[in-house]
Amino acid sequence: MNILQIATLNRPIKQDIGYGPIETVIYNIDKGLNKLGHRSIVACSGDSCVVGEQFTTIEKSFTEYWSNNTNLQKENMRRHLSLSLQRAKKGDIDIIHMHDAIMVEHIFKGVFKSPVPIVMTLHVPAEDKGPFKQWNESLIPSSGAYFVPISEYQRKQHEGLVNGQEVIHHGIDVEDYPFISNPGKQDYLLSIGRITQDKGQDKAIEIAKKTGSRLILAGNVQNKEKDRLFFKKLNKSFDLVTDAGKSFTSSDYYEKVMKPILDSDKQIIYIGEVSSAQKKLWYSHARATLFSIQWGEPFGLVLIESMACGTPVIAFNKGSVPEIVINGKTGFVVDTIDEMISAVGDLHYINPIDCRNHIKDNFSIKTMSKKYSELYQLIVEERTLCQKTSP
């Protein structure tokens, strides 16, 4: 099949980026579809580097993951969507795959004029006044838009959405993640993700202090007032702030960046935003990854990335967590801070190979892309049949 993914514009679509969860998923779907023999075309910014065919719409991504919606960004968004839809109308595309709720909102009327069906991955939670709730009042089953939840938790949030599909969990290429067994682990806990109240880095610091553990905190601070204030509050607890996003080869990175940090006598260490390759090394050497979220996370790539490296996860029982982590086998799913503290003392019960195998078996690129491929095929066949039988 020929699939056109219309990418997000916040950051480029490529393998080695720092914070860019949706961009990572787009890259992985593209990679998986290519491995299955499909023709994958990605409409994206010129600083991207995809596995399949790249269809460039604007020269450069916005770089900031979140920023004010400037006139230039609005113009780039319009150009991106216009050129993407023009590409779809050339006659060789079977399915459009979209990922950005704002983009779909921009082309809402275009959904009905699209020459092919649109698959929309629901990366965001359902909001009472959000776009999906509003669209559902106008959408009809024949509209040509199909919505894919990324977890059972999210599917229940979007219950009643017209043309809602079965859950397709995100997947990663496990072979891209280094594996280290227990003897090779270093004595630190890792907390990685966007620095914000919802991610609960303050809880991770509390747990590290109460267990006497070293904590490595990684993540970017978006240009939002509430996030800046939260970071300022966290900053009082940091024993060391350093930039671990320096560019080195993998072998040099451990010796020249990681080792000096880990050899220090500091306990709570903030290392800033790291690249994809760098975070894999931080995952693989950690005793465990703390996922101390304070909200219902629709998925959580951190969970599967950590376990792919053989590193168990200690996570609060919120959102999609119980769908992804096997309690007592690939980590611990807990309800309270006291239970998380207790779980730190039980990490020796977790076998790293169980963590990795769990991701191989359930959250691989192959599994994810195969499910999307089957969905595309089903949609195209059903619409072809309807067209043939309609008067």
Structure confidence by residue, pLDDT tens digits, 159-183: 888 888 999 999 999 999 999 887 7
Give the residue, 307 or 109, on which the prediction is more confident.
Answer: 307
Check pLDDT > 90 for residue 17. Answer: no
Predicted local distance difference test score (pLDDT) of residue 60: 93
Tens digits of per-residue pLDDT, 285-307?
999 999 999 999 999 999 999 99
For the segment 144-169, the average pLDDT, to the nearest whole number, is: 91
Whether 2-171+364-389 shares its CATH topology with 174-362 is answered yes
- 254 vs 217, which has greater pLDDT? 217
Give residue 346's identity as a one-letter amino acid code. D
Q: Is 272 helix (H, G, I), strand (E, B) or coil?
A: coil
Pair 131, 326: CB distance under 8 Å: no
- Residue 136's pLDDT is 66
DSSP strand pairing (2-6 vs 95-98): parallel
Task: Return the domain boundaries, the chain.
Answer: 2-171+364-389, 174-362
Would you state the pLDDT for residue 283?
96
> What CATH number matches the domain at 2-171+364-389, 3.40.50.300, 2.60.120.260, 1.10.10.60, 3.40.50.2000?
3.40.50.2000
Residue 70 phi, psi dihedral angles, 5° rounding: -75, 165
pLDDT recorded at residue 389: 61
Q: How confident is the model at residue 24 (pLDDT cuts 50, 70, 90)?
A: very high
- 3-state SS, 186-249, equals CCCEEEECCCCHHHCHHHHHHHHHHHCCCEEEECCCCCCHHHHHHHHHHHCCCCEECCCCCCCC
Q: What is the pLDDT of residue 70?
A: 77
Whether the per-residue pLDDT at 81 is higher than 70: the answer is yes
Please name the helix (run of DSSP H) or strand (run of DSSP E) that holds residue 119, with its range, or none.
strand 118-122
pTM over 0.95: no
pLDDT tops 70 at residue 65: no
Give the separation between CA 213 and CA 228, rounded to whole angstroms: 26
> Tell me, which fold does domain 174-362 have in CATH?
Rossmann fold (3.40.50)
pLDDT at 230 over 60: yes
